[in-house]
Chain A
Amino acid sequence: MLINYFTTATRAFKKDSQHFLLNVFGLSVGLAAAILVALFTLHEFSYDRQQPDAERVYRIAHDFSKIGMGSVRNTHYRNYEISLKHSQVEDAFVLSGVGTDKKTNVQYQGQGYKLTDIFGATPNIEDFINISTLAGDLQIVLTTPDTLALSESEALRIFGKTDVIGETLLYEGGQHTLRAVFTDLPQNTHFAFKGLAYKEHDPANAWDFSNAIYIKLTAQADFKAYEKLLDEQAVAHPSMGKMPLSLVPLVDLHFTAKSKTEFKKGGDKQNVMICVGLSVLLILIASFNFINMTIAQSTKRAKEVGVRKALGATKSQLVVQFLSESVLLSLLATVIACSLVELMLPGFNGLVGRELTLDYRSSFSMAIVLMSLFVGIFAGLYPALFISSFSAKRVLSGDLQHGSTATLVRKCLLVLQATISIALIITTVVMNQQLAYLQSIPLGYETKQRLVISEIPAEHVYAKDTPLLLDKLNNIEGVHQSTVLGYYPTESPFFGVDLIWPNGEKSNGAIPITGSGFNIVEGLGLKLLAGRDFSAEFSGDWFAKASESNKGHVGAIITQSAAKQAGFSNVADIIGKTISDPNPQFTTDLHVVGVVADIIIANGQTELIFMAGYPNTTVFNVVMTIDVQNLPYIQRQVVELIGQHTNTFEPKIDLLVDSYKAVYRDDERISQIVSISTWLAIGLTLLGTFGMAAFSVLRRQKEVAVRKVLGASVLSIVNLLAKEFLLLVLLGIMFAFPLSYWLITDWLMNFNHRVEQSLWVYLAAAGFVGTITWLTVASLGFKAASTRPSLILRYE
């Protein structure tokens, strides 16, 4: 019997190939989108689940939101030793930054390399990370100074081979010996080290905060209770005081850990959910098309239903027959969808920033088949029930030519499709407006014509008397000037102190501070509101220790918000006043020399204090003002000079404009995904409208002919046919407007600075969908209205 169904189905498809193709194409697009998103979603939720006992492992996080950092992984090494003493803890593991000092700038056979993402780790790494050693022994590396383990690809990059045990890399004043090579970490982990080394911790060092500590709790331990205990006993930060501690489950890190100190950029659950939502919408639209067109076409199968019933088929047999037809169609669409996925995967990977592959041998292909069956049944069920309940008597006595064809259901589906299309258009436009707005917000600093060289050791660029390197950089043709900054401009300083304002009041939590070179106002393009820039002409500007050893003074330029917090609404009044950093170990007096307009640093924080020559970090960023047309030449010169003078190799050099764009890359990506889905949704909806309109025109061709005989014009007939559809669009508009307003308002809440939603976007979206609907229907209606009426009426 199935063969009989199959024969009937294929012949019916052949006979009505236009609708068949529209259906298959629509479903393929919907399914392809769903497969891509499913791949992406599975990947996003697989992060770190491969690590040993992943569900019992937590990472320490501290709340650094006081200095605009949110929750960060950086914690003191002593917290590791504290946790090991607790009975709730089975084991703990530390991953520590080794710094960006000279040991990471190495030479092999005379060629300089920068080792990036090198971390120190406790030797129990294999109990926490699913890592496999290709050669050598990780244990030796993690317990012996001056040894190194590299990832396979890093070994290939430097040595051109993976058989590198015993090779040495020279650095200024020593050498690393390669003792292990490990396979590259997979993509679905938040760990991102390319090399491992021994790291010694000095328990007396109060500043040892560059550690990530992972704690494996025993199976019985209560994580919330333990989190509280550890928070009470945790080590305080020497300048920022006690930072609230929390424990973050390892498997959640990919979605929740967002600070700039993360090993790599994580994912965004909201974006994954948006993708899932969009793919569901696309499948729905494609299924609605299927339902609509199948029902519209159902009269063509009515005779078959009647005959089969007369021959003794039960209703359920007929339902099964038509369901198997839709499943067949959906399986066919799936095959096409899989090839579409193969075609689109590279582009999609670029869009989501992942390296996804479709593996047909995995259980995922089973899931695809199940999804395909589900869609076939979901889309086919209503039409199957509808068709199989045709009355055999009426069909066979020729009664059911153009009878009821579930018009209400089909109209509802079209309204829903119009709603989705309009809402998506509005969303796309507002998202793009928001992103354009973000790019245009006055940041308080200049991004144009600025080139930033990252992380140059302080001694080469950061001194009161202009260091030689800085001088040489300034002399490159096309470089106007350069200044030095203790943080990367699009990030946040990652350093803050509790201050006492000139009026004796304490600051509202730690205030972000950064060291900076002379001419910072000019170099960063800040807007000076009062006072002056840092200058070598004022010898008091640069940080200096006073004669008593634990006291220093420094010139400071503060932002307007900081001045306001200090109680100076007229910012000029704070010039010449002194803010103090009351740290008992080392007190610093900050003499305010200038106030600048607010700078937007990460998380929307606007308080910031620049301190000339203040040593808040060991590596500094050089911000150069350049002629962009000389960029390639300048870059070559910079790399050469830096290599010569600092033994720093492969320096990171970026245009500030690009770095700023990168901050919003995720938002840009999601906006692109929404745009693409919008076009697909509109396309599919039009496909559905086209199919429906074709049917409606056919059904009304006699009416059209009679009207023409009575003297109606072509345009009036086209409008008559289109009116039915435009009314549905109008209904869609009524649903779409509140829906999109609500969704977009919710999304915009993610941003500190957001655009206003404007009415014209809503009206334009509605107008657009209305117009293309009219055009679609008109293209068919025009043909119908132009046919000579006698041709139609003759057949009556």
Chain B
Amino acid sequence: MITLNNLSRIYRTSDVETTALNQINLTVNEGEFIAIMGPSGCGKSTLLSILGMLDSPSSGSYQFNGEDIADYSEAQLAQLRKTSIGFVFQSFNLIDELTVYENVELPLQYLKISKAARKERVEAILKRMAIDHRADHLPQQLSGGQQQRVAVARAMVSNPKLILADEPTGNLDSKNGDAVMAMLRELNQDGTTVIMVTHAEKEGNYADRLVRLLDGQIMLDKATQTINKDEVA
């Protein structure tokens, strides 16, 4: 599904050059659940942004569904993003001015789906996330766990092939965090590819495969079971 080849991302300010990602090679197959881990500043978020087409690499290639997206225009990227990718953020990033319902409806509006169809899908997903009783509330009126469920619902509503989650439990207590992880796991079992950035080893265990980054490079890329063995050993 995704193939990164020698991908680098370099930030330049007037006199400093920072290499956020250095020669990354990564292949993601459909249906995988990957956790990207590493200390602060190792390039996790940059990698996720590039995977989500919110940022573009300085060099190297990024193939999505077998096509190199290097030459895609901004409009084409937006098109690909809205049809294929759903985002879940640490700070939820719900639009404060819109209600729960309107937030979840937004991706469908950008997909130009009819109003009746939108209503059906939004209501279904809210029900599935057990948040339908809060449909008319504004984000500030919800608890953190509820907000993240709304965010997951928003990421899910357009039935994306890929979900990118940036520390989805970072702002949640452990009970709500576990619930969100269980939800992602469930999505993955339904066939959605999930790539998640996290700090917590515990959450890494939910994933099938673990990618460890350090200073912009992949240090480790293994199935979780193997890691556990390594760590035991």
Q: Give chain A's interface residues, CB within 8 Å of chain B.
A: 1, 4, 7-8, 11-12, 15, 303-304, 306-317, 391-393, 396-398
Contacts and interface: CB of A to CB of B under 8 A. Distances in A.
Contacts of B52: 310
Given A396-B54, A397-B166, A312 B97 contact: no
30 contacts: A1-B109, A4-B98, A4-B105, A4-B109, A7-B97, A7-B98, A8-B95, A12-B97, A303-B93, A304-B96, A304-B97, A306-B93, A307-B94, A307-B95, A307-B106, A308-B110, A309-B78, A311-B106, A312-B79, A312-B81, A312-B82, A313-B110, A314-B74, A315-B74, A317-B110, A393-B46, A393-B55, A396-B49, A396-B166, A397-B45
B89 interface: yes
Given A1-B109, A308-B106, A310-B52, A396 B74 contact: no
A11 B97 contact: yes
Q: Mostly helix, strand, loop or mixed at chain A's interface?
A: helix
Contacts of B46: 393
A398 B91 contact: yes
Given A304-B97, A308-B106, 6 more contacts: A11-B96, A303-B93, A313-B110, A316-B75, A391-B55, A392-B49
Contacts of A393: 45-46, 49, 54-55
B24 to A, nearest CB: 16
Contacts of A308: 95, 106, 110
Contacts of A397: 45, 49, 166
Contacts of B94: 307
A731 B33 CA distance: 59
Given A15-B97, A304-B97, A393-B54, A4 B45 contact: no
Interface string B86-117: 01010101111110001001110111000000
Q: Which of B74, B81, B97, B107 has the most CB of A within 10 A?
A: B97
Contacts of B78: 309, 312-315
B200 to A, nearest CB: 18
B83 interface: yes
A15 B87 CA distance: 26
Contact of A314 (B54, B55, B75, B97): B75
Contacts of B81: 310-312
A392 B110 contact: no
B83 A312 contact: yes
A155 B12 CA distance: 86
A303 B95 contact: yes
Nearest to A314: B78
Nearest to B115: A3
B149 interface: no
Contacts, number: 84
Interface in B49-76: 49, 52, 54-55, 74-75
A304 B92 CA distance: 12
A306 to B, nearest CB: 7
Contacts of B54: 309-310, 391-393, 396
Given A306-B93, A397-B45, A397-B49, A7 B82 contact: no
Contacts of A307: 93-95, 106
Given A310-B87, A311-B154, A396 B82 contact: no
B132 to A, nearest CB: 20
| Residue among A4, A312, A393, A398 with max Cβ neighbours from chain B (10 Å) | A312
Contacts of A392: 49, 54
A392 B82 CA distance: 14
B102 A311 contact: no
A43 to B, nearest CB: 44
Contact of B82 (A304, A311, A391): A311
B161 to A, nearest CB: 14
Among B94, B110, B111, the most chain A Cβ lie within 10 Å of the Cβ of B110
What 7 A-B pairs are tightest by C-beta distance, nearest first? A312-B82, A11-B97, A393-B49, A314-B78, A393-B54, A393-B55, A392-B54
A317 B112 CA distance: 12
Nearest to A300: B96
A342 B166 CA distance: 56
B157 to A, nearest CB: 10
A392 B166 CA distance: 14
Nearest to B99: A7
Nearest to B50: A393
B55 A304 contact: no
A307 B97 CA distance: 12
B107 A312 contact: yes
A312 B166 CA distance: 17
A304 B95 contact: yes
Contacts of B83: 312
Interface in B152-203: 154, 166
A315 to B, nearest CB: 6
Contacts of A15: 96-97
Contacts of B87: 310-311, 396
Contacts of B82: 311-313
A301 to B, nearest CB: 9
A397 to B, nearest CB: 5
Central interface residue in A12, A307, A311, A398, by most chain B CB within 10 Å: A311
Nearest to B55: A393
A4 B106 contact: yes
A493 to B, nearest CB: 75
Q: Which of B78, B91, B94, B166 has the most CB of A within 10 A?
A: B78
Contacts of B106: 4, 307-308, 311
Nearest to A14: B97
A304 B95 CA distance: 6
Contacts of A391: 54-55
Contacts of A8: 95, 97-98
A393 B93 CA distance: 12
Contacts of B49: 392-393, 396-397
Contacts of A316: 75
Nearest to B107: A311
Nearest to A311: B107
B97 A4 contact: no
B102 A4 contact: yes
A315 B76 CA distance: 11
A310 B151 CA distance: 12
Contacts of B110: 1, 308, 311-313, 317
A391 B95 CA distance: 16
A106 to B, nearest CB: 75
A322 to B, nearest CB: 13
B45 to A, nearest CB: 5
A596 B74 CA distance: 85
A12, A309, A310, most chain B CB atoms within 10 A: A310
A316 B78 CA distance: 11
Nearest to B111: A312
A311 B107 CA distance: 5
Interface string B29-60: 00000000000000001100100101100000
A309 to B, nearest CB: 7
A787 B82 CA distance: 46
A315 B79 CA distance: 12
Contacts of B45: 393, 397
A396 to B, nearest CB: 6
A61 B176 CA distance: 92
